[in-house]
A and B are shown apart, each in its own frame.
Chain A
C-alpha cells in the first residue's frame, strides 16, 4: 500500500482533471439551460447531493465512506420487484423526488 504522500504524488493530477471535467459539465449545463429548469432534474438533484458528500468529512465506519454514501444516494431505495418492464436500461439515479411527490 502507498503512503498518503505517495498517493498524492501518484494520483493528484488525474483527479485534478476529474474535478475540472465535473466543473465543465456543470458550466455547459448552465450555458444551455436558459430557463434554469435543469436543477429540477432528479439526476441533477442527486448529483448535487453527491457533490456535497465529496466535501463532507469521511466517517470512521467503512460503510460511511464518501463512496458508499454516494452509491447509496444514487441507488433505488425500494425493496420489491416492479410489476412490469418500464424501460430496458437504468438511468443512473432514482427519482426520489417524484416518488415522494406521488405519496
Chain B
C-alpha cells in the first residue's frame, strides 16, 4: 500500500532505511528541521543543516524513487536560546524558495519557557509572511497537554492564519480534541517505546474518525522505527478495517494537507469510476 511519512528525520538514517521504506510502499517523506541530539554551537551549523535538508536528502531519496520534502525552523529544543534563535531565523528566508520546502517546522515548545514561546511566535509570523504551511512539535510526556494548549492560544492570536494550513504533531488521546475542534490537522507520530504506539493510534482513529489525522514514524536519532507507518497499516488490518479507510489515513490525508503547498508534487489517488458512471 502506498503511503506518505510526513515526519521523518532522514538525516539520522542510513540509506538502508530509505530502501526499506521504499520497499514497503513509501512514496514521499517530509522532514522537519529538528534538534540533532546535542546543541549546535553557532547559527552556521544550521546553514549546513538546511542545505542538507534541501539538497542532499532529496538526492538520497531519489535514488530509491522516493520524493523528499522539508520544513525549516529553529527547533523547540534549542529555541530557549533567543540569541541563537534570532540568528537562525535570519537564515531561513533564503531557503524558503527551494523547490522542496513545504513550510516552517517543526516549531513549538519543549519545556514551555517564555523564551520558547517568543521564538515560536516569531516563526508563526514568518510562516504567515512567507505564506508557508506550519508543522508544530508539541512537548512529550507531562508537558504535552499544557504545551499543546499554549501553542493553540498563540496560533489563535493570528486570525489571518488558516487552521487547515497547520499540522499539530505528536498528538495523543488527551490533546486530539482541542487540535481538531479548532480546525487544525493532527499528527500521530509513532514510537516503539515511551510515546504513542501504533495500537493506540488505531484506537484514536476508531474513536475520533479519520478526518484531518496523519500518521508518521519520526525516523529520528533516538528509538524510532522507519517502518512505523507500515506497522500502523498492519494494525489497522488486524482490526479488520477496510483498505479504503487505511488509504485515507496514510495517503489521502497527507496528500490533502501537504498539497496545500504548491511545491508538493504527489498526485491524489485517481478515483475509481465504475463503468456505469464513465
Query: Which chain A residues have a beta carbon within 8 Å of chain B's beta carbons?
Result: 1-2, 10, 62-63, 65, 67-68, 71-72, 74-79, 81-94
Contact = CB atoms under 8 A, between A and B. Distances in A.
B140 A90 contact: yes
* The 4 residue pairs across chains A and B that have the minimum distance between CB atoms: A90-B141, A71-B174, A85-B80, A75-B145
Interface of B: 77, 80, 110-117, 139-146, 149-150, 172-174, 177, 200, 206-207, 238-241
A73 to B, nearest CB: 10
A68 B176 CA distance: 11
A86 B114 CA distance: 12
A17 B16 CA distance: 32
B153 to A, nearest CB: 10
A81 B153 CA distance: 12
Nearest to B199: A11
B42 to A, nearest CB: 19
Given A71-B145, A74-B142, A78-B146, A90 B111 contact: yes
Interface centre among B80, B141, B177 (most CB of A within 10 A): B141
Contacts, number: 73
Nearest to A2: B239
Contacts of B177: 63
Contacts of B146: 75-79
Given A74-B142, A76-B143, A76-B146, A88 B110 contact: yes
Contacts of B143: 76, 90
14 contacts: A1-B240, A2-B239, A67-B200, A68-B173, A72-B145, A75-B142, A76-B146, A78-B146, A82-B113, A83-B113, A84-B115, A85-B80, A85-B113, A90-B141
Nearest to B177: A63
Nearest to A90: B141
A71 B173 contact: yes
A82 B112 contact: yes
Given A2-B239, A74-B141, A81-B113, 16 more contacts: A10-B238, A71-B172, A71-B174, A75-B142, A76-B142, A76-B143, A76-B146, A79-B149, A81-B114, A81-B117, A81-B150, A84-B114, A85-B80, A88-B110, A90-B141, A90-B143
